[in-house]
Chains A and B, each alone.
Chain A
């Protein structure tokens, strides 16, 4: 052995070892710091929610899936029975309803905070939709983040016969399978999809005829509505414009300008219609490569849209944030929840907050965290979807979230009409009761004082 090797070998043997007491002391001190650090981290779990949303495209898409369905249902729902006041629009509707299958292209640009937890940005979406009365709907979409240039491609299938919506996400090699509730399915079956529902919506609201114009050399007739009821309360300001072929009475172009709230605006057009196409059932079957995995593994279910689910959602929102939401429009509600969680979850000592913090702590992967977040948002989405159905069904809903605090007994938080002289009321303490119109009037007067 050379001298160098010999001394190197000896140096390696020059070891130190602490005695048991020293180990216990060091480890004890470190673990104490770890406990304190964990408490701080638990308290600061709220920013992680932003992180989960931001880091996990799947979460954005899972949340988006619920919103997309809600928007589609919202857009495609009738706002009560159609009161046919326009012979021209009735003709348009009749012509559309004769089409068993058709295609269209769509472009949508969104500015502001698109999804809860995301910074304000501009998104461009282009898509091609194929709709069949028999088989459902297929939509291929390409979304481009105007800020980063990031492009996302996805396919969405809505299959009423199987009661599911499937989103295929090639970039993530994942797919989301979302089951519809019976209530939602019934609503979707009752109605169909764009563009006929837009015609019905315009017909059911106050609208104006724009007269004749020309689009791509075709003579068209225009109709326009800015009636706030048109999107079932989902947006602050809406302008829907429909241009139909003056010869065939089939839509040529639709334009939508939607101000969802102060933070989000959407502008979209639907164009390049192809009517009465041949639809093959295979075209509506989701194509999912073998190496794609489901997110979440067990699939998702659309939030319930009933009174019980809405109360649960209100309870959860209040427990997480200490107050009721300001507004029950689905998108605004989701944005408010996101903002409140980021700001307040770390300080909240409520069981719901603690449960959420624990859920994130125990999650073993980003996907699992994402699923927890999606599950947590579901009851809150229920409120928005329930309120949307109340609007759609013209049940005269009124909501007083800014005036009523959690736990307030006898204060009307949400009410809607259930018969000519009867209203259903959810109070500030989240009890519910039927009241007469007179009783409601007194309750609301007291609230406004």
Chain B
């Protein structure tokens, strides 16, 4: 967090290098978040690019009170919602320039199994109601607390906790026991 504040301060005082470091540090997390929210790689790129553009335009006007990662994740979530509302696109996963990658495989067999699992999980995510999906990915990928998500969604913390629980239950139900136990 201190490093982020330092980078942000350097960026605000004119260091482009500092911005590049912020970008490199968070772009993949944000792409993951956006892609999981939008279920579309190309749209995710658009959203993340929009968020970074907005960030560089307004960086000197805002004062960071929490984590930079949390701030950027919240921006992506907001922008993703706007994107969905504005474009009304079908939320289908499209493979293109952005591709889902599996974690480092432990063995060639696991690679196949994990890839299949992730493929199914990715598809299952798209079938979650948007509010539940948003809670799940913001909590698990961006490490936002339920309180922060509640503020973002303008609902109570209990509602967010419920959405999270229902979301995971539904994912398990969709995957129908194929997830590793």
Q: Are A14 and B121 in contact (CB under 8 A)?
A: yes
Provide the bound-state CA to CA distance between A7 and B171, in Å: 8
Q: Closest 10 A-B residue pairs measured CB to CB?
A: A16-B35, A34-B56, A30-B52, A22-B97, A16-B32, A13-B103, A33-B53, A26-B49, A15-B32, A11-B140
With known contacts A33-B53, A37-B56, A10–B118 Cβ distance under 8 A: yes
Provide the bound-state CA to CA distance between A33 and B50, in Å: 11
Provide the bound-state CA to CA distance between A34 and B27, in Å: 16
Write out, one digit per residue, whether chain B residues 30-50 have a CB within 8 A of any chain A CB (1) or not (0). 011001100001001100110
Mind listing 10 A-B residue pairs with CB under 8 Å? A10-B118, A13-B103, A14-B36, A16-B35, A16-B41, A17-B28, A26-B45, A26-B48, A29-B49, A34-B19
Binds B, one of A53-61, A70-78, A254-262, A357-365: A357-365
Q: Are B53 and A16 in contact (CB under 8 A)?
A: no
With known contacts A26-B27, A37-B56, A6–B179 Cβ distance under 8 A: yes
Q: Which residue of B lies closest to A21 (CB)?
A: B97
Q: Are B20 and A27 in contact (CB under 8 A)?
A: yes
The answer to whether A298 has its CB under 8 Å from any CB of chain B is no
Interface of A is mostly: helix
Residues of chain A within 8 A (CB-CB) of B27 are 18, 23, 26-27
The answer to whether B16 has its CB under 8 Å from any CB of chain A is yes
Residues of chain B within 8 A (CB-CB) of A8 are 140, 168
Which of B23, B32, B97, B100 contacts A27, CB < 8 Å?
Answer: B23
- In the complex, how many angstroms separate the beta carbon of A411 from the nearest chain B beta carbon? 41
Residues of chain B within 8 A (CB-CB) of A19 are 97-99
Interface of B is mostly: helix
Q: Are A362 and B48 in contact (CB under 8 A)?
A: no
Q: Are A15 and B100 in contact (CB under 8 A)?
A: yes
Write out, one digit per residue, whether chain A residues 31-66 have a CB within 8 A of any chain B CB (1) or not (0). 101100110010000000000000000000000000
* Residue among A1, A16, A19 facing the most chain B CB atoms (10 A cut-off): A16
Interface size class of A (residues with CB under 8 A): 20 to 34
Q: Are B98 and A15 in contact (CB under 8 A)?
A: no
- In the complex, how many angstroms separate the beta carbon of A332 from the nearest chain B beta carbon? 33
Provide the bound-state CA to CA distance between A362 and B175, in Å: 56
Q: Are A17 and B99 in contact (CB under 8 A)?
A: yes
Q: Are A363 and B53 in contact (CB under 8 A)?
A: no
Other A-B contacts than A7-B168, A10-B118, A18-B98, 20 sampled, CB-CB below 8 A, are A7-B175, A10-B121, A12-B140, A13-B118, A14-B32, A14-B118, A15-B100, A16-B31, A16-B98, A16-B101, A17-B101, A19-B97, A19-B98, A26-B45, A27-B23, A27-B27, A30-B53, A34-B16, A34-B19, A364-B13
